Amino acid sequence: MDLKKYTITTSSWKYNFMIIKKSLVLSFMLIPFTILSQDCSEINKKRVTRLQGDIITLAGDEMEGREPGTNGEIKARDYLISRMREIGLNPKGTDGFIQAFTYFEGEAAIQAHNVVGFIDNGAKKTVVITAHYDHLGYGGSGSKYKGPSQIHNGADDNASGTAALLELAHLIKNNKIKEHNNFLFIAFSAEEKGLLGSKYYVMNPSLNLNEINYVLNMDMLGRMEPGMPLTIEGLGSSLIWEPSLKEIKCDAFPLTLKKRENGPSDHAPFYEAGIPSLHFWTGKHDDYHKPSDDAEKINFEAESQIISFIEALILLIDSKEKINFHLREK
């Protein structure tokens, strides 16, 4: 993730949130919401354990920084496929779970791999949940580190978002609720090269883009501190976002809500294609794009609470109506 304005965040605390049944008038439409009452004051230990397992694995030295076109990316790709199978997702790439694509660095052709899984609820519309799993390998031009070449493990950027994607897939697959949406989970590669994986997917989708209800993208969720905000960007992409987010009562962390729709992460190509899109992140830190972005610095408990918040949003707006895209006037 390449950003210019950041908020620093890490550590753990407790919160409660409750979603109260009501209807919301948007764009002259009445959209009914599902009633949920969810107590997240206690940390779910099983969830934290799953997050730890995924982040520690993806950010391990054996993955060699997960740079596209390397053995490290292949190892990370195969791990994600095994986890999606374990969760019970259906493959939705062009070759099983894989969507391969090629880009060029100078004259060198590099093959990278998106990993795509699907939950089919027999619905006419699909929610897309995304995160990039690639990072910087041994550094290179994207590194902020000035020393000799070292593995950049990218625990926060973006093993944390990738682990959140897997956890949301697990929760949705096992919640015993048949939602009004299908769910497509995409782990993108080559985000650090300029959003190449998400751009390729939007140009070569494995389902009709018109079937996509909305997109939720997660990039750097692992370094939250008490009192610091969860930043959510993209509110300008649909009129439903701001009132829906404010409907979720959350005492764990404040929210920083931004209308900015097409920031530097994988939600941007979907917004450009006319799809409502949100982006979640917890801010830049001193280890950003350095070898020191390691798993032991991740706040797993706080990330589990963020996932609960995102899950609550998904269920809150799980209505039979398709969410309307909003193009803001510049």
* Average pLDDT in the chain: 88
DSSP letter for 155, please: I
Length of the chain: 330
Residue 320 has what pLDDT?
Answer: 66
CA neighbor of 208 nearest in space, from 124, 272, 132, 266: 124
Check pLDDT > 70 for residue 18.
no
What DSSP line would sit under 198-240, residue for residue? HHHHHHS-SS-GGGEEEEEEE---S---TTPPEEEE-GGG-TT
Q: What is the pLDDT of residues 60-78, one digit of tens each?
A: 999 999 999 999 999 999 9
Q: What percent of the chain is modeled with pLDDT above 90?
A: 80
State the DSSP H helix or E strand holding residue 309, giving kind and residue range, or none if neither.
helix 300-316
Contacts 24+ apart (CB under 8 A), 105-108: 105/193
Residue 94's Cβ-count burial label (10 Å; 0-12, 13-18, 19+) is: middle
Model pLDDT, residue 330: 55
| Phi-psi group of 224: left, alpha or beta (phi > 0 → left; psi -120 to 50 → alpha; rest → beta) | beta
Amino acid at 101: F
Tokens found for residue 239: 């009129």
Residue 145 has which token pair?
């580190």
Segment 285-307 mean pLDDT: 97
pLDDT of residue 239: 95
Lowest mean pLDDT among 41-45, 148-152, 217-221, 261-265: 41-45
Closest CA to 291 of 163, 160, 134, 157: 157
pLDDT for res 23: 36
Consecutive H or E run containing 233: strand 230-233
CATH number among 3.30.2090.10, 3.40.640.10, 3.40.630.10, 3.30.110.70, domain 17-316: 3.40.630.10
How confident is the model over 146-187, as pLDDT tens digits?
999 999 999 999 999 999 999 999 999 999 999 999 999 999
Domain segments of the chain as ranges: 17-316
**Token pair of 285, please?**
């830190």
Burial tier of 131 (Cβ tally within 10 Å: 0-12, 13-18, 19+): buried
